[in-house]
Structure 1
Amino acid sequence: MTRAKARAEASEATVSQGRIALATVGRSIMRTLGAIGRRVATAGRAVGRIASPVTSVISTIGWLVLGAAVATALIAVAFDWVEFAFVAATLVGAVLIAIPFVFGRMRYNVAVELKPSRVVAGERALGRLVVVNDGSAATVPSRMELPVGAGVAGFRIPALAGGADHEELFAVPTQRRAVIVAGPAISVRGDELGLLRRTVKWSEPVELFVHPRTARLKPSAAGLVKDLEGETTQTITDHDISFHALRAYVPGDPLRNVHWRSSARTGQLMVRQYEETRRSELVLAQSTVAAHYADDDEFELAVSIFASLGVQVVRDGTTSSAATEDLSLRTSTTTSFLDDTSRIAPRTQTTVLREFVREVLRRAQSASVVLLVVGSELPLAELRSIETILPSEAQLLAFRADRGADARISKVGSTLVATIGDLSELAAVVKRVRP
C-alpha cells in the first residue's frame, strides 16, 4: 500500500513538472512571437514611411482598382480564364495611364479672404480665392479645392503666365450660427477618373464667425446694478467707504480709523465702522444638453437669448462671467463674446444642471445675480434645486426658451422664470424682470 502511494505521488510530481515545463516553453514561445511581431510592425512602419510618397497619391478608388486587378489576375491564373486576364490588364493599364498626370511642379501663391469675417446668421458673406503664379514659367491648367464648412468648393485654374493671377469668388452659406472654416486651399493633380491624386497645401484655414441673432436690450436690463462704488451689504468691516457707526477702541485697531472729535467729546477713543461694499457680479450660464430642448430651432432661440443678455451685460460694464457645460466665454468685449457664442453646440451627453451651476459658481463665488438659460424640456423642479447652492443674497433668474409659447413671467420657489417664445419678445420681458 505504501509502495503504491509512493508511485502515485511520483507520478503526480512528474506530471506537475511536465506542466511547468510546458508552461515555461509556452511563455518563451509567446515572448518570441511577440518580439517577432514587434519587429515586423516596426519594419512595416519603416517601409510605409519610405513608400508613402508613392502610396499617398493612390486614392481610395485607385486602391479598389488595384485590388480588383489582383483578384481578377488570380482568378485568371487559377481557372485559366482569358477574359479575367484581359480585365486585370485593363485595370492595371488604367492605373499606368494615370501616372503621368501626377507629375509636374507648380509655384503658386494662394490667398483666401472672407468678407466680412463676422456676420449675423442669415446675412450674406462672400469668399475670394486668389491664385498667383510665383514662377517665371507658365503653368498648366490645374484644379484647386477649398473646403468651406462641411462642403468642398472646386475651381478650375487656367494656365497662368509667370506673375499672372486668377481670382475666384464664392458664396459662404450663413443660414445657421456657426464658425465656418474655409481652407486650406489645395491644388490637385491627377487623372480624370480619380485613380491617382497628388495634393499640395497652399494656404492656412480662415474662420468666418456667424453670430446668433440678438435682441437689442436697454441699458441696465435684467435688474443689473450699474454702480461706481458697489452695493452695500449687512456685513460690518473696519475698512471700507460706507460709514456705519462708531465703537470703542480695541487695542490693535488702526489709528487712522479713530474719530478724534467723538473721542474728545466722550473721553475715550472711538473708531469708525463701515458697511462692506461689493461690486455687483453677474453669472450668465446656458444649459446645452440637447435633451433639454424640443428641437434644434429651440436650441438656437436659447443661444440667441443667451447672446442678447450677454451683449447687454458687457455693454453695461458689469463684472460678469459666462459659461456653458463645455465652454467658458470671454466677456471682455461684445465681439469676443459673440465669437464664442458661435461655437456653442448641443451636448449629447446628459449632465445634472445643479452640478453644472455649482461648477460655474465655484469660479464666481461673489455672484449677486445668476442668469440661467434653459429649454422647454427641462423640468422646472430642477430650477428649485439650484436655489440651495446659490451664494447668500444672490438671485437666480431663469430664461426658458419655448418656441411658439406666449411670453410670460412666473415664479418657481424664489426663482423668477421668464418664458420666451420668440426673440422679439425678449426686450419687453426683460423690462419687467427685476431680481
Structure 2
Amino acid sequence: MITRAGWGTLAASVLLDAVAAPLGYQQAGALSAGGIAAVGAGLLWTLRRPRLEVRREVTPVKVARGDAAIAMLRVTNRGRWRRNGLEAHDTCRDTAIVVDVPPLARNSTGTVSYRLPTRRRGETPVGPLRLDRADPFGLARRTTSYGQADLLLVRPRTVPLEPLNSGRQRHLDGSASRSPSGTITFNGVRDYVIGDDLRHIHWRSTARTGTLMVKELEDVSLPYTTTILDTRAGAYGGDDEFELAVDAAASVAWSATRRRFPVRLLTGAGELLSAKGGAEEAETVLDRLALVERATDADAPADVVRRAGSGGALVLVTGARTALTGVASVRRRFDQVVCVWVGSSSADDGPLVVPGVTVIEIGDLAELAAAWPH
C-alpha cells in the first residue's frame, strides 16, 4: 500500500515531468523518474509478507479504574532475513496506540510493552493488533493483522470501610428471612448433608423420621447492608461524578462482603447482586459494578427503597440532593441509614441535613473513608 508520502512523491514526480519535459530540462526528468522508481522500490520492499509469530498478553485482565494495565507484545522473526521498520498498532476503546518493534534478526524475538488506558470502567476491548512494515523512506507500507481482540475489565476503585452497625437482635423468636447460616440461634431442622457437624444432629427428629436431621442455626446479629446506587442519567453533573458514585457503592458493598457479611446491591434497573459474603462474592461485586451505566429510564432511589425490604443498614449513593429527602420517610425500617452524596455544594445550597440520616458529602474516595461511620 502506498502511503501519503508515497502518493505525494508520485504526484510531484508526474507534475515535474509534465512541466519540465516540454522545456527540455533533462535533470528534471531524471528527478521525476527517480521519484517514481523510489515508490516502485518501496512497493517491492513491502510486497512479501514477513514470517512473524506475534503474541500479545494483557496483564492483569481485571484492574481497578486508574491502575496500571500492561500489554506485553512478543514478536519472533521466522523469516530468513532481518526485519526492520516494524510498527505495532493497537487500540483500546477509542485510544490508538503505536509502538516501534526493535529490529529482528533471523529466529530472534523482540519484546515491547505499553500501558493501556484504564480511566473508564467497563469491558474494554484491546485490539485487534496490526503490524505495519514500511520501506526505509516511508513511501509504501504493508499492514498485517494478528489474532483477535482481548478483553480488559476495568472495575471500580475501592477503599476499605467498616461494616455499619446493624443486625436482627430485635427479633424475639430468632427468625430472620435473610439471615445467613451461622452458629447462634436455632431456626429449624433439615436433612443431614455430608460435611455437617455431627454435634448439630437433632436426635429427636432423627428418631421420629428415621433420617439423619441436623439443627439449622442462624446468626441474627450479622450486619446486613442494602446498598442503592442512583443510576438516573440526570442525577450527576458529569461522568466523573458518576464514576465516583460507582466507586463509593463498590467500596461499601465490597468491604462488607469481603468481611463475610451479607449485602444486597440495587440500582435504578433492579437488583444487581444479593450476596451472603465471602472473598469470591466480593470479587463479583466489582465485576457487576464494572458494567453499570446510567439510564434515562432508571427508577428513582425512593422507588427502589420501597422495594428493598427492611432491616439492617441502608446506604444510598447519589448525586441528586432531592434523592436524599426520599429516604427520610423510610428510615424507621432500617437500623441505620447513610446517604453518600457525590458532588460539590455551592454556598447557596447550604449543608445537607436529613433527620435520622447520616449524610456524607464527598469529592473523592479519601473523603468517604475519612467520614465513614465507625
TM range (shorter): 0.5 to 0.7
Q: Which amino acid aligns with 1:156?
A: V
Partner of 1:311: 254
User: Structure 1 CA distance, aligned partners of 2:314 and 2:2?
Assistant: 57
Aligned residues: 311
1:383-414 per-residue CA deviation (whole Å, 9 max, x = no partner) reads 555788x89946864321134799x87326x7
Q: Give runs of aligned pairs for residues 270-285 of structure 1, distance below 5 A.
A: 282-285=225-228
Contact between 1:281 and 1:366, CA under 8 Å: does it hold in 2?
no
User: Structure 2 CA distance, aligned partners of 1:124 and 1:385?
Assistant: 39
Contact between 1:146 and 1:184, CA under 8 Å: does it hold in 2?
yes
Shift in alpha-carbon separation, 1:411–1:404, aligned structure 2, 3 A: closer
| Structure 2 length-normalised TM | 0.60
Does 1:400 pair with 2:341?
yes
- State which structure, 1 or 2, has the greater radius of gyration over its C-alpha atoms: 1
User: Structure 1 CA distance, aligned partners of 2:51 and 2:65?
Assistant: 37
Partner of 2:296: 350
Does 1:205 pair with 2:149?
yes
| SS of residue matched to 2:354 | strand
Shift in alpha-carbon separation, 1:279–1:392, aligned structure 2, 3 A: farther
| Structure 1 length-normalised TM | 0.53
1:216-250 per-residue CA deviation (whole Å, 9 max, x = no partner) reads 212x32636699x75389xxxxxx9669xxxxxxx
Match of 1:426 among 363, 368, 372: 368
Q: Give runs of aligned pairs for residues 215-230 of structure 1, distance below 5 A.
A: 215-218=159-162, 220-221=163-164, 223=166
1:289-316 per-residue CA deviation (whole Å, 9 max, x = no partner) reads 4532234443333222111101122124
The answer to which structure, 1 or 2, has the higher relative contact order (CA under 8 A, 6+ apart) is 2
The percent of aligned pairs where both chains have the same amino acid is 24
Deviation of 1:130 after TM superposition, in Å, equals 1.0
1:33-62 per-residue CA deviation (whole Å, 9 max, x = no partner) reads xxxxxxxxxxxxxxxxxxxxxxxx688x69
Shift in alpha-carbon separation, 1:325–1:102, aligned structure 2, 3 A: farther
**More helix by percentage:** 1
* C-alpha RMSD over aligned residues: 5.2
Q: Give runs of aligned pairs for residues 137-176 of structure 1, distance below 5 A.
A: 137-138=80-81, 140-141=83-84, 142-149=86-93, 150-162=95-107, 164-174=108-118
Contact between 2:46 and 2:133, CA under 8 Å: does it hold in 1?
yes
User: Structure 1 CA distance, aligned partners of 2:64 and 2:367?
Assistant: 19
Match of 1:108 among 39, 52, 64: 52
Q: Give runs of aligned pairs for residues 33-432 of structure 1, distance below 5 A.
A: 99-133=43-77, 135=78, 137-138=80-81, 140-141=83-84, 142-149=86-93, 150-162=95-107, 164-174=108-118, 180-190=124-134, 198-218=142-162, 220-221=163-164, 223=166, 231=176, 282-289=225-232, 291-325=234-268, 332-345=280-293, 347=294, 350-351=296-297, 353-354=299-300, 358=303, 370-375=314-319, 378-380=320-322, 382-385=323-326, 393=333, 397-403=338-344, 410-411=353-354, 417-427=359-369, 429-431=371-373
1:1-32 per-residue CA deviation (whole Å, 9 max, x = no partner) reads xxxxxxxxxxxxxxxxxxxxxxxxxxxxxxxx
User: Structure 2 CA distance, aligned partners of 1:112 and 1:187?
Assistant: 12
Shift in alpha-carbon separation, 1:112–1:175, aligned structure 2, 3 A: same
User: Structure 1 CA distance, aligned partners of 2:285 and 2:164?
Assistant: 18
User: Structure 1 CA distance, aligned partners of 2:354 and 2:302?
Assistant: 19
User: Structure 2 CA distance, aligned partners of 1:222 and 1:97?
Assistant: 76
Contact between 1:112 and 1:206, CA under 8 Å: does it hold in 2?
no
Contact between 1:231 and 1:280, CA under 8 Å: does it hold in 2?
no
Ranges in structure 2 where 5+ consecutive residues have no aligned partner? 23-31, 179-184, 189-203, 206-219
Q: Which amino acid aligns with 1:341?
A: L
Shift in alpha-carbon separation, 1:213–1:111, aligned structure 2, 3 A: same
